[in-house]
Amino acid sequence: MGEEFTYSKAGVDRELRAESKRALELLKRTYKFSIYGNVIHLPYGNIFPIGHDRYLDLVIEGVGTKVLVAQLADKYDTIGIDGVAMAVNDVIRSGAKPLALADNIHAHVSDPKLVREWIEGIAKGAVEAECVVLGGEIGDMAEVIKGLAFGKGFDMVVACVGEVSKGKVIYGDNLKAGDVIIGLRSSGIHSNGVTLARKVLFKQWGGKYDPFDIPDGLDRELVYEVLEPTRIYVKPFLRLTREVDVKAAVHITGDAYLKFENLMKFSRGAGFEFDNFKPQPIFELIQRTAREVKGVITDEEMVKTFNMGWGFAVIVQKENADAAVDILVRAGVEAEPIGRVVKGEKIVAFYKGRKLVLKD
C-alpha cells in the first residue's frame, strides 16, 4: 500500500479552511442593519426578512478549479451551468425559490467568443432553474488571471437570491433517530473535489492520462466526463417541498458527507449513517488511477471529498420516505434512501463492506 494521497495534499486543506471560516463571526456585527427583523441562522447560511413573513436567501458560489478543465478541453459552453447550479442548489436548502442571478467573471481577456460561450451556459442553467439573470460583470485582469492557454484564463462566480415564506423555511432542526436520508442522483463529479481529481487523472497536473483519452470504464473522453455539468435540483426539490415536510436539505458539495456535520449544531444528539453509495465510473477511476501515479486515496477520503453518486440529499420522517422518493422520481430525478439519522453525534459510512467513521 502506497502513501495516502488526500485532498489536503492536492492543495485543499480542510483544517485550515475550517479555521479560516471562524472569521465569519465578524459579520454578525452587520446583522443590526436587517431593518425588518432578525437574521435567521440556518445550518448552511442565513436568511433575512424583507417584510411580513417573507425572507430572502442570498448566496454566492464559484466553480473552483473546474475552470481549468474547461480550458484543457477548450470547451466553455457548459461551465456556466456549473456556476448556476452551485448557487441555486445552495439557495433551495432553506426552502427558498431562486428568483434572480448575477455573475462575475474575471478573465485574462474578455474575448467575444469566450464570453458568448460562458453566457450560453449561464443562460441554459438559469432556464433550467427557472430563474432570471439580471446582469453581471466581466473584468479583464490579465496580470491576475493566467490560465492554461494564453488569453483563455478565467474564474467564475454566480450569486443567487431566493425567497421563502416563514411557514416554508427549512430549519434543519428537530431531527430524530429513524428519519430517512434520501439522495438525489448526481451527474458525476459536479464541481467539487476537482483539484484532487485533476492531479490524479490528467498529465497536465502530474496524473496519468491525456485529456482526450478514454480510460477503461468510461464511454467518452476523460476531459468531457470531468466537465459534465453539475445537476440542478430546483424543480424536483421545490415540487417535493409542496407535498412533503422536508426536515433538512443538504447540497453534497465540498467535504461531501462531512457536510452533514452542520446539522448536528441544530439537532443536538443526532448523527448520520450512510449505507447506499452508487459512484459513477469516474470515481472508481480516480481511486484506481491514484494507486498508479500518486499513492492511495482511501475509501474514507473518497466519501469525505466526492459526492459518490448523490449530489443532493433531503431528510424526511420515516413515514414520508416512500412518498418523497416517488415524488422526486416522477419529477425526473433518480432518488433513493441512502441513510438515516441515528443517536449519537457521529457520521458513519458503510462502503465496500467496511464501516468508515467520518466524524465522531
The answer as to whether 24 is a domain residue is: no
Domain range enclosing 326 = 180-359
Residue whose entry in the numeric block shows the C-alpha cell 501515479 = 293
CATH number, residue 58: 3.30.1330.10
Q: Kindly report which listed range (145-159, 277-291, 302-316) carries the lowest average pLDDT score.
A: 145-159
243 and 269 inside one domain? yes
Residue-wise pLDDT for 341-359, tens only, equals 999 999 999 999 999 999 9
Length of the chain: 360
Residue whose entry in the numeric block shows the C-alpha cell 465540498 = 254
Using DSSP bridges, classify how beta strands 97-107 and 54-62 pair: parallel, antiparallel or unpaired: unpaired
Number of structural domains in the chain: 2
- Give the Cα separation of 139 and 105 in Å (integer): 6
Q: Kindly report which listed range (75-79, 293-297, 299-303) carries the lowest average pLDDT score.
A: 293-297
CB 158 within 8 A of CB 284: no
pLDDT at 6: 86
The answer as to whether 104 is a domain residue is: yes
196 and 75 inside one domain? no
152 and 200 inside one domain? no
Q: How many CB atoms lie within 10 A of CB 35?
A: 8
Indicate whether 148 pLDDT > 90.
Answer: no
The answer as to whether 3 is a domain residue is: no
63 and 196 inside one domain? no
The answer as to whether 259 is a domain residue is: yes
CATH number, residue 232: 3.90.650.10
> Which set of grid coordinates corresponds to residue 159?
450569486
151 and 195 inside one domain? no
> Which set of grid coordinates corresponds to residue 181?
436520508
Q: Is the model more confident about 136 or about 27? A: 136
pLDDT at 231: 98
CB 202 within 8 A of CB 266: no
Residue-wise pLDDT for 199-251, tens only, equals 999 999 999 999 999 999 999 999 999 999 999 999 999 999 999 999 999 99
The sheet carrying 335-343 orders its strands as 248-251, 310-316, 180-185, 335-343, 270-274, 347-351, 354-359
